[in-house]
Amino acid sequence: MPDDDTDCSHCGETIPGQPIWWAPSHDRLAYLEEARDLGWFAHAPEAPLCRDCEARFRSLKAGSSTGVSFGDSNDQLDTELDPEQNELTEFLDELDLDAFRDKGMEH
């Protein structure tokens, strides 16, 4: 596989040039592991995104983080995201998990 041809993990388009490597935050990762059965990574998983998808993801994040913190949920096993994060969840649901790579394996 040529190294310079990476497909976007969200829309599947071939990314011209350098992809944007997105490293999920702890919450997203927990969601991906629980809901999507994301495999285990020794270091930190990251996924390639094209500019369009990265921009979309950013806008979703901007819209959902209104500075309101729900605090630490007491012992809740299911990491349910609040309804306002539905779009964010959809975005996560659409990611191609096979596209994830481990950050520690760049060379």
Give the binding site for Zn ion (CB under 5 A): 8, 10-11, 50, 53
- In the complex with Zn ion, which residue's Cβ is closer, 60 or 74? 60
Which tokens sit at 81? 């995201």
Q: Taking CA 75 as the corner, what is the angle to CA 71 and CA 68, rounded to the nearest 5 degrees?
A: 15
Shortest distance (Å) from residue 60 CB to Zn ion: 13
Residue 12: φ, ψ to 5°: 80, 0
If the CB atoms of residues 32 and 53 are measured against Zn ion, the closer one turns out to be 53
For residue 41, the minimal CB distance to Zn ion (Å) is 21
For Zn ion, which is the closer residue by CB, 8 or 88?
8
Return phi, psi of residue 84, to 5°.
-65, -15
CA–CA dist 61, 45 (Å, integer): 19
Least gap, CB of 28 to Zn ion (angstroms): 17
